[in-house]
């Protein structure tokens, strides 16, 4: 009970900040300081969300599929890349700069090219999501592998452990916190990446829907979609946190000790 | 009658043309505790890595039970000042890590390690994580891990030097008690002369540049010893002798 109260108190500043933004938004639109065709009121956005919920749900389904497949590929790719780059310094030096360059190419520039190569269906969207998500995963895992104490590895060697055993017992578990930090970023990238690539060419998905309502100047409906995207991204990040807690039960104790 | 457990013959190692250790000949008998005391830069760590098989000497050999184990890790276990416990493994799994690495099943390794928890004063910590233990307790777990994966020989590199004085004193008492219960031949590296005299049967003194054994001193005192020993004239005589050599 006391704990619950404490957690409410500690999140009070966040709640107040949100309320202030919401009230300011509301006042700006109600007093018509900003005309409603430029900024729809919170109420009209909620009404639009309620009216369009079925349509949004259908498009969301597509977007989430793209995001999940892309993320899955991104994670797998990240694991493989990190493993190779960690085991061989030459590979690390060869691949790392190339990887950085792929990340500096703007998504909006690469998405149409992917559409050109792969068509208007799901494939280019999945490819784009994979491209944007694998980077935080790879970098996270690499940092994790490299963070391991040299003495720890020597100790394992002194026990007669080979590289695989060192990886399983020491390196991989040590990299888990880094992996989850990367995954948290990747999850939000995945949704945004999918939406952006739909926006730039496709038949279905929230991105396509966004372009349609924008062209109809239905900004209240556009804001409704934005809210859905935000909420979904937050939920997914929360899910990552839950998985992290389940897979890393020892973290709880480490924090208690500090 | 003492049985020879570990022996080195004329170990030499240099890095970048600089000789670090030269002509190291040491012997360790079964059940014995031998200390290596030396100034910093006397190549203690290098010698340590050679004994554990992590690096190869330029010349010379290491023998365990008469077999040449030079440059062959997995035979002699060691423990450092840092406990190196894995934060993601429970205490019981940390203690049995060496057994699992050597191919034992997790269940079997846990059962074997579990038998020692009472003797090692670790009862009730099996299912905890290392971060829940104090520094002294963590070193006990590290020591149990070292003992379990040792084929009778353990190298301890300043195992208690990161602890505060009071904990260190408690650990000495604990260590003496444990060593009377288990059989382990130990090479103990330390720069703490008191610790060396209190705990060992013999003390090798390492001189620096390059590191060589300059003196061997036998601590002729019944075991198990108590802290009282450190207050006797006998003890002070040993201490004087070692300090003079190191000066």
One-character DSSP codes across A168-226: IIIIHHHHHHHHHHHHHHHHHHHHHHHHHHHHTS-SSSHHHHHHHHHHTT-HHHHHHHH
pLDDT at res. A209: 92
Q: Which pLDDT tens digit goes with each residue over A217-248? A: 888 899 999 999 999 999 999 999 999 999 99
Residue B224, preceding bond cis, omega within 30 degrees? yes
Contact predicate A107/A196, CB 8 Å:
yes
Q: What is the nearest CA distance from A198 to chain B, expressed in angstroms?
A: 41
For residue A29, pLDDT over 80 is answered with yes
Domain ranges of chain B: 1-75+181-239
Sign of the torsion formed by the C-alpha atoms of A37, A41, A47 and A52: positive
Chains A, B: CB contacts within 8 A come to: 64
In chain B, what residues touch A159 (CB-CB under 8 Å)?
Answer: 73-74, 77, 97-98, 101-102, 149
Q: Which pLDDT tens digit goes with each residue over A50-97? A: 988 999 999 999 999 999 999 999 999 999 999 999 888 898 899 888
> Residue range A184-212: average pLDDT?
90
Domains in chain A: ranges and CATH: 62-247 (1.10.3720.10)
Question: Which of B228, B204, B240 minimizes the C-alpha distance to B23?
Answer: B204
Q: How far is CA B77 from the centre of its chain?
A: 9
Between B191 and A128, where is the model more confident? A128
pLDDT at res. A256: 53
In chain A, what residues touch B46 (CB-CB under 8 Å)?
Answer: none
Cβ–Cβ below 8 Å for B86 and A248 = no
Residue B150 confidence class, pLDDT cut points 50, 70, 90: confident
Residue B169 confidence class, pLDDT cut points 50, 70, 90: confident
Assigned token pair, A241: 């946190």
Cβ–Cβ below 8 Å for A158 and B54 = yes
Cβ–Cβ below 8 Å for A254 and B53 = no
Assigned token pair, B3: 């049985």
Cβ–Cβ below 8 Å for B84 and A257 = no
Mutate to test the interface with A, among B131, B132, B134, B187 (most CBs of A within 10 A): B131
The answer for B165, left when phi > 0, alpha when psi is -120 to 50, beta otherwise, is: alpha
The answer to whether A157 faces chain B, any CB pair under 8 Å, is: yes
Cβ–Cβ below 8 Å for A151 and B82 = yes
Most confidently predicted of A29-33, A70-74, B211-215, B233-237: A70-74
In chain B, what residues touch A248 (CB-CB under 8 Å)?
Answer: 88
Assigned token pair, A112: 């149409």
The answer to whether A58 faces chain B, any CB pair under 8 Å, is: no
| Residue among A158, A170, A257 whose CB faces B77 most closely | A158
Find the closest chain B residue to A173 by CA distance.
B88
Strands B212-218 and B27-29: unpaired
Long-range contacts (CB closer than 8 Å, 24 or more residues apart) made by A159-167:
A159/B73, A159/B74, A159/B77, A159/B97, A159/B98, A159/B101, A159/B102, A159/B149, A160/B73, A160/B74, A160/B75, A160/B101, A160/B102, A161/B101, A163/A87, A165/B101
Cα–Cα dist B61/A221, whole Å:
80
Q: What is the nearest CA distance from B53 to chain A, expressed in angstroms?
A: 7
Cα–Cα dist A157/A150, whole Å:
11
For residue B40, pLDDT over 80 is answered with no
Q: How many CB atoms lie within 10 A of CB A35?
A: 8
The answer to whether A257 faces chain B, any CB pair under 8 Å, is: yes
Residue A189, preceding bond cis, omega within 30 degrees? no
Cα–Cα dist B153/B163, whole Å:
24
pLDDT at res. A257: 46
Assigned token pair, A141: 């895992």
For residue A255, pLDDT over 70 is answered with no
> Residue range B114-128: average pLDDT?
90
Report the top-level CATH class of B1-75+181-239: alpha beta
Mean pLDDT of chain B: 87
In chain B, what residues touch A176 (CB-CB under 8 Å)?
Answer: 88
| Residue among A149, A154, A250 whose CB faces B88 most closely | A250
Q: Which residue has 């059989």 as its token pair?
A: B183
In chain B, what residues touch A147 (CB-CB under 8 Å)?
Answer: none
Cβ–Cβ below 8 Å for A158 and B131 = no
């Amino acid at each position: 009970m006391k704990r619950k109260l404490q957690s409410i108190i500690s999140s009070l500043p966040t709640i107040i900040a949100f309320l202030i933004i919401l009230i300011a938004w509301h006042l700006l639109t109600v007093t018509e300081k900003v005309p409603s065709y430029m900024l729809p009121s919170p109420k009209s956005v909620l009404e639009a969300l309620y009216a369009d919920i079925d349509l949004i749900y259908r498009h969301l389904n597509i977007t989430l599929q793209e995001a999940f497949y892309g993320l899955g590929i991104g994670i797998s790719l990240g694991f493989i890349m990190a493993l190779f780059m960690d085991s061989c310094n030459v590979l690390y030096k060869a691949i790392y700069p190339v990887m950085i360059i792929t990340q500096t190419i703007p998504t909006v520039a690469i998405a149409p090219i992917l559409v050109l190569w792969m068509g208007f269906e799901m494939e280019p969207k999945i490819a784009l999501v994979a491209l944007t998500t694998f980077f935080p995963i790879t970098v996270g895992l690499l940092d994790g592998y490299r963070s391991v104490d040299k003495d720890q590895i020597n100790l394992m060697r002194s026990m007669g452990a080979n590289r695989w055993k060192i990886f399983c017992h020491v390196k991989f578990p040590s990299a888990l916190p880094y992996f989850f930090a990367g995954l948290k970023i990747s999850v939000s990238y995945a949704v945004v990446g999918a939406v952006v690539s739909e926006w730039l060419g496709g038949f279905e998905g929230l991105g396509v829907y966004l372009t349609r309502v924008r062209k109809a100047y239905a900004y209240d409906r556009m804001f409704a979609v934005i809210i859905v995207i935000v909420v979904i991204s937050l939920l997914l990040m929360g899910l990552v946190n839950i998985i992290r807690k389940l897979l890393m039960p020892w973290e709880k104790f480490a924090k208690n000790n500090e | 009658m003492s049985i020879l457990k570990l022996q080195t013959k004329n170990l030499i190692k240099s890095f970048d043309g600089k000789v670090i250790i030269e002509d190291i000949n040491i012997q360790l008998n079964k059940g014995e505790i031998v200390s290596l005391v030396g100034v910093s830069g006397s190549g203690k760590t290098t010698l340590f890595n050679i004994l554990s098989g992590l690096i190869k000497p330029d010349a010379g050999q290491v023998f365990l039970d008469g077999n040449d184990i030079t440059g062959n890790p997995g035979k002699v276990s060691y423990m450092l000042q840092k406990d190196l416990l894995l934060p993601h493994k429970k205490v019981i799994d940390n203690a049995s890590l060496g057994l699992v690495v050597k191919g034992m099943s997790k269940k079997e390794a846990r059962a074997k390690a579990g038998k020692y928890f009472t003797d090692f004063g670790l009862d009730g910590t099996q299912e905890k994580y290392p971060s829940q233990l104090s520094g002294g307790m963590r070193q006990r777990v590290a020591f149990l891990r070292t003992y379990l994966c040792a084929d009778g020989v353990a190298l301890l590199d300043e195992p208690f030097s990161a602890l505060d004085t009071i904990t260190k004193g408690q650990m000495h008492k604990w260590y003496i008690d444990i060593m009377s219960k288990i059989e382990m031949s130990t090479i103990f590296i330390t720069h703490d002369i008191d610790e060396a005299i209190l705990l060992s049967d013999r003390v090798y003194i390492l001189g620096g540049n390059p590191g060589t054994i300059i003196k061997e001193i036998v601590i002729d005192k019944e075991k198990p010893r108590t802290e009282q020993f450190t207050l006797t004239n006998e003890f002070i005589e040993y201490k004087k002798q070692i300090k003079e050599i190191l000066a």
